[in-house]
Amino acid sequence: GDSVTQMEGPVTLSEEAFLTINCTYTATGYPSLFWYVQYPGEGLQLLLKATKADDKGSNKGFEATYRKETTSFHLEKGSVQVSDSAVYFCALSDPGAGTASKLTFGTGTRLQVTL
C-alpha cells in the first residue's frame, strides 16, 4: 500500500538557518503530495501541495518540489524563524481522490528554532 517516510526529529536550528526536512513516498499511481504543519495547541494546517511531477508548492517561504524520479517531496526554507517551530507532516492522497481525501501521513518531524 501507499506509504510516506519522513526524517525523524526533532530538528533543532538557529534562527535564519536553512531547513530541509526529507520526505519520500511509495505509491502505486501518481499521488498528490502535501505538507501539513501543526503549531502547538492547534490542528494540522495545509502548508503547501503539489499535484503532479515537477510541480513546486510554496507558501510562507517554504517550498517543496514533486520529484517523481526520486519519489521525494522534501520541504525547504531558506531562513527559518522562531515562529516556524512546529511539527511538520508529509502526506499523500490517493490518485484521483480529490484534494486531501484519505491522506496517508508520515510520522511528523518536530522543528525547534532557537534565537
In whole angstroms, how close is the CB of 53 to other proteins at the nearest point? 20
Interaction between residue 107 and other proteins (CB under 8 A) = yes
The nearer residue to other proteins, 82 or 97, going by C-beta atoms, is 97
Interaction between residue 103 and other proteins (CB under 8 A) = yes
Q: 50 with 57: CB under 8 angstroms?
A: yes
The nearer residue to other proteins, 17 or 24, going by C-beta atoms, is 24
For the record, the C-alpha cell of 82 comes out as 522562531
In whole angstroms, how close is the CB of 8 to other proteins at the nearest point? 8
Binding to other proteins, residues 73-102 (CB under 8 A): 89, 98-102
The CA R_g of the chain, rounded to the nearest whole Å, is 13
| CA distance linking residue 106 with residue 90, whole number of Å | 5
Interaction between residue 62 and other proteins (CB under 8 A) = no
DSSP string, 11-45: EEEETT--EEE-EEEE-SS--EEEEEEE-TTS--E
In whole angstroms, how close is the CB of 19 to other proteins at the nearest point? 21
Q: Are strands 109-114 and 32-38 parallel, antiparallel or unpaired?
A: unpaired
Which residues of this protein are in contact with other proteins, per CB under 8 A?
Answer: 4, 8, 36, 38, 41-46, 89, 98-108
